[in-house]
Amino acid sequence: MSQPEVLCCGIVVADHVCSPISHVPRPGELVMSERMLLTIGGCASNTAVDLAKMDVPVAVVGKIGDDVFGGIVADSLRQQGVDVSLLQIAPGVDTSQTLIVNVKGEDRRFIHTFGANSLFRAADIPLEAVRRCKVIYLGGYLLMENIVQEELVATFEAARAAGARTVLDVATPGRDDYLPRLEKILPVTDVFLPNRDEAECITGETDPLSQAETLRKLGANTVVITCGGEGSVLVNDRVRLRAGTFPVEFVDGSGGGDAFDAGFIFGLLHRMEVEDCLRVASALGASCVRAIGTTPGVFTRQECEEFLRRHDLEIARL
């Protein structure tokens, strides 16, 4: 396998997903689903698979348990072309799992066990690999209690010193004071990619542009706020942009944000202007929601390039 250009670090999950059902079962009721999948999930896994589909050499860095689900996750990633040599096994611990319940016309419902992800630390990311990559991405920050900010800062600084770009995404389990866990890492983050709800939990702001401006002031070089079906907002030291969305049939939103991240990283690797980074990111994010599961619907590189030739994305300067 080629030397990884991207390290995708963080949350690795086995997902149990159903196709949309008519309603949530009442106590004792059986509701039929057309399909159920056991597949990979989690920010690091999803983003890695999506990058592999875009022909990017990528490795995932995270923890799985020594159970059957850990084996399924590792095998699935390997089959998708992801380097799993840096995936670590935690003896005696369950692999993280999520039960995703899709109901027609409603947002997804999640039942989750954190498992081996709870043991993952920034210090588990090998600095030798960090210094050889072009982009290091950490997904799910703020959700993993053992990711210590000072350790992550040291990892991001090592990447930047070697010429790599640093990309950070978060997951916020609820309202809390998250700023103390971001004040040191954002100044060494090249691209910060929270969604609108996460950015509201962090900043207290409801407007995506205000959120992005606030997070920029905290030190992040480029901030992208993803807003689901309402597009995205990007702010850096040169431009303020609002992007729309591509029209696709919505089936399942699982993994859409991770696919967006993968598309943006692809743009960084190819030294694209931020407008083109947004185009690729929005295309991959849109492709993801066309199928159940976090990665099955995501475009390959050829599919993405053909889609972008046929469709334009509305991007406005603010």
Q: How far apart are CA 53 and CA 255, in angstroms?
A: 14
What is the model's pLDDT at position 39?
87
Q: How far apart are CA 203 and CA 85, in angstroms?
A: 37
Could you tell me the domains of the chain? 6-11+43-66+121-317 (3.40.1190.20)
- Dump strand ranges (E) for the chain: 6-10, 13-18, 36-41, 58-65, 87-90, 97-101, 109-113, 135-141, 165-170, 191-192, 222-226, 232-235, 240-243, 315-317
Give per-residue pLDDT as tens, 235-292: 999 999 999 999 899 888 889 999 999 999 999 999 999 999 999 999 999 999 998 8
Give per-residue pLDDT as tens, 118-148: 999 999 999 999 999 999 999 999 999 899 9
Q: Could you tell me which residues are beta bridge partners of residue 315?
A: 243
pLDDT band at residue 158 using 50, 70 and 90 as cut-offs:
very high
What is the model's pLDDT at position 254?
83
pLDDT at position 60 over 80: yes
* Of the listed ranges 12-21, 159-168, 304-313, the one predicted with least confidence: 12-21
What is the model's pLDDT at position 199?
97
pLDDT at position 1 over 80: no
What is the model's pLDDT at position 190?
98
Length of the chain: 318
What is the model's pLDDT at position 2?
75
pLDDT band at residue 12 using 50, 70 and 90 as cut-offs:
very high
Share above pLDDT 70 across residues of the chain, in percent, rounded to a whole number? 100
pLDDT at position 61 over 90: yes
Give per-residue pLDDT as tens, 90-125: 999 999 999 989 899 888 898 999 999 999 999 999
* Of the listed ranges 1-10, 80-89, 224-233, 240-249, the one predicted with least confidence: 1-10
Which pTM value belongs to this model?
A: 0.93
What is the model's pLDDT at position 17?
87
Please give the mean pLDDT across all residues of the chain: 95
Rounded (5°) CA angle 234-239-241: 40
